[in-house]
Amino acid sequence: MTVKLTVVRAGALTTVQDEGRRGHAHLGVPRSGALDAPAMRLGNRLLGNDPGAAVLETTLTGCALRPDRAVAVVVGGAPCPVRVDGRPAPWGTPVRVPAGAVLDVGAVTSGVRAYVAVAGGVAVDPVLGSRSTDLLSGLGPAPLRDGDVLPLGAPAPGPAAPAAVPWPGPPAELVLPVRPGPRADWFTPAALRTLTSAAYRVSPHSNRIGLRTEGPPLERARAGELPSEGMVLGAVQVPPDGRPVVFLHDHPTTGGYPVVAVVAEPALAAAAQAVAGTPLRFTLG
């Protein structure tokens, strides 16, 4: 029979995420998917799941869940306290949660997003090939609410990965390697030097759509507006205030502000765990 998880406490923002909806940007459909994909994959491997099986992505305050049958889970990503029916349980390694017990994923102690991987994966109905929640388009399941019930898939046969593995920590300083973007010529040479030499910080207004920055504005060499054009994951768009915005997984597929640079995708996992105020540097690479 299908195991079900009841959401006892949804937290500030908990969503279902997997590897996202790749290949639909030409239709106006964002990719979505887990912001810290390495954390999602590691949690799944520890349980013997497919690396891209759907997990729960929590934001800052965690969540609490009750399975109707015994199930194995891994809580990883941002460090946080884990309890099963009020008793401390290990973070970052598989934990058995008995039927009817409450798994409480507490507020993160560093970083931003914790991931709850469950044996068999979260088996909500896929939309366009993905189970991910997309906050911008509204595709996929809605963000979790108290009382929601989630079905799980069948646990994979065979052994899981060894339980003792290292997890990367949240960045004390976020370093994002960039390459020049398609509209770098819309900015002055001084602005391009500023981008890769000035000190920025992560703005508290960041979200799954984009990582906003605080720091010196970038001066334009050209005035006027751009027609809307395609945007890619990691695009560094510069709105009228001049402060760069790094597009993350729920970003729009088109936009009208110039893209001064593009961040390499592997660096974006660290951006998912950078708290507001984290020092940020853009580097050429």
Distance, in Å, from the CA atom of 155 to the CA atom of 46, rounded to the nearest integer, reads 12
Amino acid type, 46: L
Nearest to 242 by CA among 210, 262, 213, 199: 213
In a domain, 168, yes or no: no
Nearest to 276 by CA among 167, 174, 168: 174
Cα dihedral: 128, 154, 65, 93 (round 10): -110
Query: End-to-end CA distance of the chain, in Å?
Result: 51
Strands (DSSP E) along the chain, which ranges? 4-9, 14-17, 55-59, 63-67, 71-77, 82-84, 87-89, 95-97, 103-105, 113-118, 149-151, 174-180, 200-202, 210-214, 229-230, 235-237, 245-247, 254-255, 259-263, 279-284
Residues 208, 130 share a domain: no
Nearest to 165 by CA among 70, 65, 22, 45: 45
Residues 147, 10 share a domain: yes
Distance, in Å, from the CA atom of 239 to the CA atom of 129, rounded to the nearest integer, reads 32
What digits encode the pLDDT tens for the residues 121-131?
999 999 999 99
pLDDT at 224: 82
Distance, in Å, from the CA atom of 263 to the CA atom of 160, rounded to the nearest integer, reads 33
Q: DSSP secondary structure string, 31-97?
A: ----SSHHHHHHHHHHHT--TT--EEEEESS-EEEEESS-EEEEEEES---EEETTEEE-SSS-EEE
> Which two tokens mark 167?
């997890």
Residues 121, 235 share a domain: no
In a domain, 59, yes or no: yes
Q: At 56, phi and psi to the nearest 5?
A: -105, 130
Structurally, how many domains does the chain consist of?
Answer: 2
Residues 233, 135 share a domain: no
What digits encode the pLDDT tens for the residues 233-267?
999 999 999 999 999 999 999 999 999 999 999 99
In a domain, 96, yes or no: yes
Distance, in Å, from the CA atom of 70 to the CA atom of 186, rounded to the nearest integer, reads 58
pLDDT at 28: 86
Residues 241, 135 share a domain: no
Residues 126, 11 share a domain: yes
Residues 146, 15 share a domain: yes
pLDDT band at 156 (very low <50, low <70, confident <90, very high): confident
pLDDT at 164: 67
Residues 13, 140 share a domain: yes
> Which two tokens mark 109?
């102690």
Residues 223, 120 share a domain: no
Nearest to 182 by CA among 106, 127, 236: 236
- Determine which helix (DSSP H) or strand (DSSP E) holds 268, and give its type and residue range: helix 268-272
What digits encode the pLDDT tens for the residues 167-215?
988 999 999 999 999 999 999 999 999 999 999 999 999 999 999 999 9
Q: Which domain holds residue 236?
A: 174-284
In a domain, 15, yes or no: yes
Q: Judge whether residue 120 has pLDDT over 90.
A: yes
Residues 229, 138 share a domain: no
Nearest to 207 by CA among 35, 4, 19: 35
CATH number where 233 lies: 2.40.100.10
Residues 117, 227 share a domain: no
Q: Judge whether residue 86 has pLDDT over 60.
A: yes
In a domain, 267, yes or no: yes
In a domain, 279, yes or no: yes
Distance, in Å, from the CA atom of 245 to the CA atom of 6, rounded to the nearest integer, reads 36
In a domain, 215, yes or no: yes
Q: Judge whether residue 52 has pLDDT over 60.
A: yes
Rg (CA), the chain: 20
Instruction: Summarize the confidence of residues 52-80 as an average pLDDT.
Output: 97
Name the domain boundary from 151, 184, 208.
151
Name the domain boundary from 88, 120, 151.
151
In a domain, 232, yes or no: yes
Residues 125, 244 share a domain: no
Name the domain boundary from 120, 151, 182.
151
Nearest to 60 by CA among 115, 113, 8: 113
